[in-house]
Structure 1
């Protein structure tokens, strides 16, 4: 059905405005086309509801709500919604067209990304989500396919078509979003909020760092089940060598309990940028392996299960045989090493080892992780044994030893009391960071001091929080830390402002490119006649050039329509002076031709012809006038005594009108004529008296 829709719409004009050019993508609700807005002459993305849904009032109302919600958000990292409407059976949404590719294309080409590239790509995504969350919107479908990367490097979050206002009812009985990135609460049919987007972003970051999704399954319900019942593994399990800070970041975002995640995109953005500044170049430029085993395969290898998980051919998961990975045991602990350091399930049985087997050979069966753990415990026990003398060198005085022991016990009691005070009520006691966003900086510092924390103010730019007010803290609000640890207080310097470039004289397309390069948006475009500026060039802009504005500001443009065309007046039949004045009053220039023309009907000095005679000209255009010389003078021959018919014929050839005055007419001869033997104007009347 969808292909028929594409064929039907391609080349058509939707709502007498949007010319559909090609199909870009299709989804469960709609199809997206590349179209041209013929009113503003720009490319747009046209999202058309599927035909079988276009007659459903509930879907149409949902589409209208989506348009209103998304259009209320204007941010340089969010794809803008430009228009919404319905043309017959076609319900549509018009969005900003981003020419480029998606994050999915990047992942398919490169697989796992370095932490530097992954954090750089996800930063604008989280910034866009933070702006949406601050405006009361949630996305509900964060995934690599909805992260658009323009050819000029701009990164935008697309398809807020499933976003809902947080104040509206967001609980639904069906899954909305892609199951690979779906938060557990959505799988369970619970209400979604900003933290649901955070979960999806965490899964996406996992995939960017490892090149694989955390869960896989033959059917979507298997993946959804894992989101609800399993913990997202650390990325370093799939990509050994990743720094632990990235593991903690992903697992913080993907906690099953929404209360354990960042509260919104703003909180996550602060932590994300903090981590980027603390990692070394070596950690940021860590190159993940080009090919990693799937998580399912890793789980199978770890469990050593002999259950059949799939067919044994190359295209499916292999059957894991118990004979290939026999269970091994640790060696008997050496002298001085506590046996309690090892789980009883892996201790060797009492008694000697089998013949021909020594302790080193037995330990060779340990996994690398068990060997490291055993080595660390052995080192601790050796250090403890070395610090404990095997015998007393001198018995000493019993009373002296009692005094010493009493002093030691008293000192330990004082130390224990001091430690108890320090960690119970003093600077080492735990405290929860208060919520300080949008509070004056001095008030926020006082609240931190009252709570027992020491603050370190740090000025930052922020588009939402006004200057002098708190943007947030590091650690974030709600986090519990020891009070002696410093708390960074981010204080807004207001939005970062950038001067607008001068767009005057540029073409409309050049102005659009300049605005996009400066991360500004195109506002209202109007047209105006101008006598000097060529058509299609920019006459003015608002705000004006060099005005400091924030990124994402809408800039309105006035475009020249060229000189205004003026109608040409018809001055034929007027005398010269009147004709010249009429043309001049119309804003045009009159030019009188040097050659005048005889005309038997137009009086001398009047306008006989003009070029052009109608239509329009630009101001100052020339109208050429040709004047009449009046009728030509012709000598009138004498036809008295001649045949009246011959006389009439000859006079008409000369251009005269002939009037016959017949008296009898029997002879048919001219008795007299008037005028005769003189010059007369061409076209005048000659009277013949006929007998």
Structure 2
């Protein structure tokens, strides 16, 4: 009986031991410093001081300021949990040692900057941009791509060069003389070198519109660059024809003498032109053979009379 009780108790103890939850495993936190953007020597010193082994690989830089610095690391900086404290942990650092970059040419004169770009193995392209500061005219304000950025050899670098500039005024409706004075003033204030061309365009019978601008190029608001040609098109005044008199009824003058016909038309306020026609068969010297306006027609002139020649 006692032996049976002992066996039961032993089985119970074994069963409890099997079913009991295991003790939680102990984890260790290891923190790896983030040494990206740090010079190679400094990054290595920091990691070795923390007990890490360090390896290096070369990689391409995206900009010249990364050369000699860490651009990547594996494992990355941060905290990691381990089941046991690792005896050694290797951190691999990628060092930027390769690349071709846009040279720094800001504030250089155009020719000097273009030469520096060619020397770096690139093709310069000049783009003029408006500049109000006289000290920056002719100098590089920016580049595309920006300085220090990676660019494959033979690529194009756009130099943004400051150029004296001003917004194109609106001269529509203004006189040519006033526009010229305005442009001369721009040229005197800034070294613009603007050129003016005036085109005599449409005619007008309104004296006040003579030499008034109705079209311009470039349009108002356009940024003017040094040397821009401004084209102004203006009205040209032409005196209107004399006003015609009131309409009268055209008389029948055929067969009348030249003198009678001319006097009759002049009394009516009509302008008269006489043409002579000679024909041996027609025996009507000095007589009206035809009239340009038919008899009975309302007219204000002029009238052409055909008179037989002598």
State TM-score, norm by structure 1: 0.20
Which structure would you say has the larger RCO, counting Cα contacts within 8 Å and 6 or more residues apart?
2
State TM-score, norm by structure 2: 0.39
Q: Which structure carries more helix by proportion?
A: 1
Larger Rg: 2
